[in-house]
Amino acid sequence: MKNKFINKELSIQSEYEKDFSEKSTQLKLLLEGAIISRNIETVRKVAVDAAKLKDLQLLFDEELDILKLYIASTITSFIETAIKQGLPKDVAESAKRKFYVLIVKTQSTIEIEHNYFQMVEELIYKMNQYSMNKYSPIVRRAIEYIHNNKFQFIYSKDISNAIQVNRSYLSKVFKMETGQNITDYIHKVKMDFAIKLMESNIYKFNEIAELLGYKNYSYFSKVFKKIYRVTPYDYIK
């Protein structure tokens, strides 16, 4: 009798897990498609549907710990997809660390459902901002070099030497494809990372400036204000 009860329980569990798997796969495929197409509106539509459709809502009615594991797993998969679609690895890894912390700190299933779609939206935003697939091999190599050397103060000549391309030609192609000159792009990458460091509340502003290769805080602040229209202090307060 006991074995019969156990077998019945396992049978129910197996059916339940299959049902959960099908729903989670459906949602994952929808969001992965949105990431590949870089369509934030699709993510928002899926988020609305999740609230309306019984199938998807059952997925988000799971225990919080189960949802955290599921979302951490799918976010990892989405990050890998984004990298394949041209998102620089340092940007992808930074986003992944941020998302993991957010998942761990989530306190309710309602909150984690909201955060899940927000994380996917943010990933698409980063892809639209940084993805290199639309660029020529030369520009992609230049962008990779900039991201990999953001802790140094680099010039266009450093990049052209590193990737072995004529400096004038590189500057012309880079401007034509990205709409920015190399120097402005270097500063933007550094300032975007500076914001992450500022938000961590670990480093002082002058330490961030030094870490990113600026000779002093005054110059760092001037560049920051040129890009964001406010000083670092005003931005973070």
Token couple for 123: 């990933």
pTM: 0.67
Q: Label residue 113 by pLDDT band (50, 70, 90).
A: confident
Q: How far apart are CA 64 and CA 84, in angstroms?
A: 30
CB 200: neighbour CB atoms within 10 A? 9
pLDDT digits (tens, 9 = 90+) for 144-186: 999 999 999 999 999 999 999 999 999 999 999 999 999 999 9
Residue 180 DSSP symbol: S
22 vs 213 pLDDT, higher one: 213
CB 112 within 8 A of CB 68: yes
**Picking from 16-25, 116-125, 156-165, 202-211, which range would have the lowest pLDDT averaged per residue?**
16-25
CB 199 within 8 A of CB 236: yes
Alpha helices by DSSP H, the chain? 2-37, 40-52, 54-60, 64-84, 89-105, 109-130, 137-148, 156-163, 167-178, 182-200, 205-211, 217-228, 232-236
- CATH code for the part of the protein at 137-236: 1.10.10.60
CB 124: neighbour CB atoms within 10 A? 25
Ranges of each domain in the chain:
2-130, 137-236
CB 228 within 8 A of CB 235: yes
Residue with tokens 């199938």: 55
